[in-house]
Chain A
Amino acid sequence: MSIVSVKEIRKSYNKGRTQALKGVSFEVEPGEIFGLIGPDGAGKTTLFRILTTLILADTGSASVDGYDVVKEYKDIRRHIGYMPGRFALYQDMTVEENLSFFATVFNTTIEENYHLIEDIYEQIEPFKKRRAGKLSGGMKQKLALSCALIHAPHVLFLDEPTTGVDPVSRKEFWGMLQKLKRDYNLCIVVSTPYMDEAIQCDRIALMQEGTFLSIDTPQNIIADYSETLWAVKSDKMHRLLTDLRLTPGVKSAFAFGETHHATIDTRQLSIDGLTAILQESGHKSIDISIVEPSIEDCFMNLQKL
């Protein structure tokens, strides 16, 4: 049975002028890490707020841990952990006070569920007498995660836990989530604007402007990419992008780190032909090779602009 079930949820703000969610449906299985991947304004936070019973959907239904988000909201609140995008702990209380406060609210103690947070809390324990407001960004994140876990929730909701965090710390954070899944079979619903984090999830929904562009495993979404993708390089990368776009037969071209990614209509333009055209335009050290698409390539391919 699904632990999170969402059916045709719609939500609008400003008397219907802003449609935050335009009818989304999905299921999350126990022990799964489910990722909502999309830019700001995709509707990720609205979806979290509905599932954590903080706001009501306009239409549609949803259940979490077997309870209905409208009729049985109190039961849901007991069994979920929620880490909002914005730091929401008590800034004037110490690290330790925050943690014991959250334990008390949920009628438990730090000791009872300490095993769940041990790996994470250990890293901030040296600062347990420090006020939460005085912690660095990374430490705040670890405290917030500890507080969201201290009552041993059945589902953990994390709204953009890695936004604004550097790549090394992001990798570390995902390591913590993977361990929670592995050791405790915890179900985690997590959102992120960073496309490269999609591969950390068992299944993902690619989200844009209140709709899902695709829901599947990251591997299947990549396998579904219908085009052959080419990585193109030369000694003049910026001009190369313009030249690619002006070449008939090049269907799309965009910068992608150290190479440009392009799709090509090979009936119209061969790779040798493209190399020749680029050489004629003065490019040197030209390198064109097939590259496996990433989730970001897939997102752009599905994105409607």
Chain B
Amino acid sequence: MTDKIVIKAEGLTKQFGKFIATNHISFEVHEGEIFGFLGANGAGKTTAMRMLCGLSHPSDGRASVAGYDIATQAEEVKRHIGYMSQKFSLYDDLTVEENFTLFGGIYGISRQKAKEKTTSLLTELGFESERKTMVRSLPLGWKQKLAFSLAIFHNPHIVFLDEPTGGVDPVTRRQFWELIYRAADRGITVFVTTHYMDEAEYCDRVSIMVDGKIEALDTPANLKRQFGGASMYDVFYALARTAKRVD
């Protein structure tokens, strides 16, 4: 982790009619940091994340991601971030290699370069033998690991992970976090949401949203001290049960 700030949100707000989904949130994320973005369902996480990815225009406030303004330079933001969600990961009807070539192409990486990079990535994952395998026939755990590699294939400054380990078996879930650590060591900033409270412990810092606002933001150790909880589950529970929004 360095001192360089790669995400800076100041009073970031999104309002739908009378409903303020994300209500003036401010925070900073450092280069190479693993930042856990937690909150109950309906707390406004997805809305905030969509704005940070340049997919939704803020109603108020501002934010910069990788040095670009999310409102005025949304296309630049998209070029410099990676994104992975639990729902969509890879194209099932393409082989492993074709998926990499396609994503590389979208981000302007030449075929030759993409091929070389695919080789080194698959070797690192111990997955070279599956290069020509149709993604459809891979086990879910492998798909998720490949999807993560794909999300950072173009060497983004920041990767956004939206519940990347949902439904994944316990061993693969831990292997997935090993990949996250490796990416962070290489200087990629990781912005991750999860409903697994043990995973909150693996983050450098964690923010917890309640009813559109960030109600707590600190290292897991400090949050546990602050809220007098033995685990991150206790901290989350103490905050989330104060929510007024009906979900």
Chain B contacts with A in 219-247, Cβ cutoff 8 A = 220, 231-233, 236-237, 240-241, 243, 246-247
Is B177 engaged at the interface, CB distance under 8 Å to the other chain? yes
In the complex, chain A residues whose CB is within 8 Å of the CB of B141: 39
Per the bound structure, the CA–CA distance linking A94 and B39 in Å amounts to 28
Q: Are B177 and A136 in contact (CB under 8 A)?
A: no
- Of the stretches A165-173, A181-189, A268-276, the one at the interface is A165-173
| A-contact 0/1 string along B176-208, CB 8 Å cutoff | 010001000000000000011110011000000
Binds A, one of B6-14, B76-84, B167-175: B167-175
Q: How distant is the Cα of A139 from the Cα of B41 in the complex, in angstroms?
A: 11
A136 to B47, CA, bound (A): 14
Q: Which residues of B contact A102 (CB under 8 A)?
A: none
A136-B247 in contact given A195-B170, A238-B181, A303-B170 (Cβ < 8 Å): yes
Most buried by A among B172, B181, B247: B247
Residue contact B140 to A41, C-beta cutoff 8 Å: yes
Question: What's the interface size class on A, roughly?
Answer: 20 to 34
Contact of B126 with A by CB under 8 A: no
B-contacting residues, A207-228, CB 8 Å = 208-209
The distance from the CB of B246 to the nearest CB of chain A, in whole angstroms, is 7
A40 interface residue per 8 A CB criterion: yes
B163 at the interface (CB under 8 A from A): yes
Residue contact A137 to B167, C-beta cutoff 8 Å: no
Contact B41 A137 (CB under 8 A): yes
Expressed in whole angstroms, the Cα–Cα distance for A254 and B141 within the complex equals 17
B105 proximal to A (CB < 8 A): no
When chains A and B are docked, how far (Å) is the Cα of A195 from the Cα of B177? 18
**Contact of A257 with B by CB under 8 A:** yes
By a CB distance below 8 angstroms, the chain A residues around B86 are: 164
- A24-62 CB contacts (< 8 Å) to partner B: 38-41
Of chain A, the residue at the smallest CB distance from B236 is A167
Across the interface, which residues of B come within 8 angstroms of A303, CB to CB?
169-171
The residue in chain B whose Cβ has the minimal distance to the Cβ of A127 is B246
The reply on A255 being an interface residue by CB < 8 A is: yes
Flag whether A243 is at the interface (Cβ < 8 A).
no
A256 on interface, CB distance cutoff 8 Å: yes
Q: Which residues of A contact B247 (CB under 8 A)?
A: 136-139, 169
Q: In the assembled complex, which residues on chain A have CB atoms less than 8 Å from the CB atom of B40?
A: 166, 168-169
Given contacts A136-B246, A257-B231, A258-B201, contact A166 B39 (CB under 8 A): yes
**Complex alpha-carbon distance, A166 and B247, angstroms:** 11
Q: Which residues of A contact B201 (CB under 8 A)?
A: 257-258
Q: A137-B42, A164-B163, A167-B236 are in contact. Are A299 and B170 (CB under 8 A)?
A: yes
Which chain B residues border A163 with CB–CB below 8 Å?
Answer: 166-167
CB of B197 to closest CB in A, whole Å: 6
A164-B166, A193-B167 as given contacts; A41 in contact with B231, CB under 8 Å: no
A193-B166, A195-B170 in contact; A167/B233 too (CB < 8 A)? yes
Q: List 5 A-B contacts (CB under 8 A).
A: A163-B167, A167-B237, A193-B167, A194-B196, A300-B171
Shortest beta-carbon contacts, A-B, top 4 = A257-B198, A39-B169, A138-B247, A40-B167
